[in-house]
Chains A and B, each alone.
Chain A
């Protein structure tokens, strides 16, 4: 039982990292209709940029800011220079997937070429450990959870209360009609990629902090977790992604209590395949 409680704690941490990543991924899909499989690669790019900063003796939390900025720019460029031209040409969804896989190779192995194949870690402390019964988390882990909560609230506020956020939702729902309202959807889309790119960089750094040691290929499996969370909640639905992240995060960690830890991700894979096979629009009903 105590293992179970502890697992919930870890599950919340995983869910936090997953939530930040999944919300970004699903918003990108919602507004451009592209499954950006290079998302994982951009995450690890952010992680390594933070590592670079960290290597100069600067706190990794400041390095995180660099990651956020850089990944934001990279994502805007990726959409503007690669995805949009292909879409304008009428590329099929399959072609777009292959393009995004090509970008994954370029970014992921570009990082590996520069950073080397050896796993690295941040120079940072874990902070004090907080325990409540079997529940035990380090300060860093609590910070990660806190960041995730703040990000979720921020995304919610953006989408519900700001003009840009509503324009993003409108563009995702009906791009032509949005244009008929005078919305410059090109700019809205670029802004969306900038914001989600920032989330991607944040997620990458936080992922690397939580993982301890990482290399350029560390996010390969994590991407499947993101996809599981996204499709559980319904592609394009940010609140669905948040829910999906919570479910997947908890389920993977809790399952490790019952089955060998090496297989804990199996649950996520099964969830993904089941969702795609049975209900590709997600568990939730209509969108936000």
Chain B
């Protein structure tokens, strides 16, 4: 992101989150946080609850106990549109664009809350970040390739300059080289501009490289947390990632 776009970073505090889709909870007692200027990552095998956690932070999944605060403001179980208005930008893992709408219209929807005059200028800025989209503003989003869709999904959320980004596997189905580029240039760049970023990823190695802090999830709980430096030398990291009986670093018995 170009340096002259100023973002008001919003710190995220999620404490003791227990949530599910009705019936048994999928995640239990999860506590994570992210500060402005930081990239915080969530890694862990499938089924560990990473996506569910993000969905519970943006009001899509009901939080049965625990609190979520963004920028000091309590947003637990608020409607998704109100959370978006509070300055939270969320990119889901699937169904991440409006298929029948054109690229430009998708971006316009991203800028729905902006004053009308600002929208074209903001679109131009986003298109400089993703030049490849500039050539296809009139194409309907359903016809884009996988990588282009991901770019559009990111571009859509950039429109509002949110202070907190919640990204759910933005590199899924992307070729490794592109994935790394997306993470290093764009995701890291978001934090560099002052936003707080919470990113869920399967590519643990790649995302660790750009993270300030990482949580390892497993079985619906936080198994470990630490800085990439700490984790990469910890034998328990690999263990807990691959399901071993590791004790979470510095927290209560799990």
Contacts and interface: CB of A to CB of B under 8 A. Distances in A.
B98 A177 contact: yes
Contacts of A270: none
Contact of B99 (A173, A179, A182, A184): A173
Contact of A182 (B85, B96, B101, B143): B85
A180 B90 contact: yes
Given A176-B60, A176-B95, A286-B142, A181 B109 contact: yes
Nearest to B96: A177
Nearest to B162: A182
B99 A174 contact: yes
A184 B79 CA distance: 9
B190 to A, nearest CB: 17
Interface in A154-212: 163, 166-167, 169-170, 172-174, 176-185
Nearest to B116: A163
A169 B101 CA distance: 8
A182 B113 contact: yes
B248 interface: no
Given A166-B105, A166-B108, A167-B109, A179 B84 contact: yes
B92 interface: yes
A287 B113 CA distance: 25
B92 A177 contact: yes
Interface residues of A, number: 21
Contacts of A286: 99-100, 140, 142-143
Given A166-B109, A173-B101, A179 B96 contact: no
Nearest to B111: A181
B156 interface: yes
Contacts of B70: none
B141 to A, nearest CB: 9
Interface of B: 58-60, 79-81, 84-85, 90, 92, 95-101, 105, 108-110, 112-113, 116, 140, 142-143, 156, 160
Given A163-B108, A170-B98, 10 more contacts: A166-B101, A166-B109, A170-B101, A177-B92, A177-B97, A178-B98, A178-B109, A182-B113, A183-B109, A287-B100
